[in-house]
Amino acid sequence: MDKYRIMTFDGGGIRGVLTATLLKRLKNEHEISEFINMTELFAGTSTGSIIALGLAYGLSPEDLVDLYVRYGKYIFTPRYLEYYRPKYDNKHLKQALSMIFPKDLRLSDLSHKVLIPSFRVSGSYSKPYWSPVFFNNLPGSTNMEELVIDVALASNAAPTYFPSYKSHVDGAVIANNPSTAAIAAARGEQGNIKALDDMYLLSIGTGIYPQQITADTTKWGAIDWSFYPKPPYPLLELLFNSDIGVNEFYSSQLLKEQYCRLNLEIPKKIGPIPLDAYSKTPTLISLANDLDLEMTIKWIKNSWF
């Protein structure tokens, strides 16, 4: 049996620094230090796409932590204050990406396989309607010649936060946790179909803060669902976060003990951390450094090697 190792990374904006810090800690464990290099497929959504593409290109977790620390404030500097415009220009995000990826780097150039969800809001010749897009460099891919920076911008184009990019919006609208999509893609790899028994998947989140709407939603219309303050923009929060637990359930049921989920609950005393809260970067790093990784390290030792 040839193991097929998959790592997936959730969306979450600046909270990606938590993911990168967890990876940094795992990589520094001597007995499993090569687990990233041994991974066949990296899948990531939104901020997770940057991590997945970065690792597939050969960046270290330290490089990725540095990206968030150095450029987080720069990326999330508001340009527009009007509700009818995106909150941020993607110019700063594109410039930050160009600091870590060559401008002409394509998916086909990467040394590992990747899967990056996005959503095309306009039609194309092959599909005259909106549809999900899974950028990848797996065998038979029709988009492996896409530029890495373009793919990252397409997967990070969170509605209301960033403008759409080449008619694509954030992959979080379909798969903020891309683990099930990664299993499906690996399962259907053309000419080399992978059996579920061969797959091992490590799924890493960006921290979760338990949310609920305590108000009576019985009579809510478009305005309340869009702008109610607790949690802010509840419809958008539901859109981005409701699938995370769903995909965790699907993946765990498909792979059983060959699936491992690594995430943490953000304490109530800290409160929710929005995807653009760059001032919380030190807090996110501290949370990641304090998390007990014993069970995850044990799982990697037993499953990856």
* Residue 10 designated active-site: no
Show the CA angle centred on residue 9, arms to residues 42 and 5, nearest 5°: 35
Residue 298: strand pairing partners: none
Annotated catalytic residue within 10, 170, 243, 276: 170
What DSSP element (H or E) covers 144? Answer: none
* Residue 243 designated active-site: no
The DSSP secondary-structure symbol of 232 reads: B
* Both tokens assigned to 98: 């160009």
Euclidean distance between CA atoms 300 and 128, whole angstroms: 43
Sign of the C-alpha dihedral, residues 247, 249, 253, 259? positive
For the chain, give the number of residues.
305
Please state at what angle helix 16-27 crosses helix 47-57, rounded to 10 degrees: 30
Contact 231, 211 (CB under 8 A): yes
Residue 59: strand pairing partners: none
Catalytic residues: 46, 170
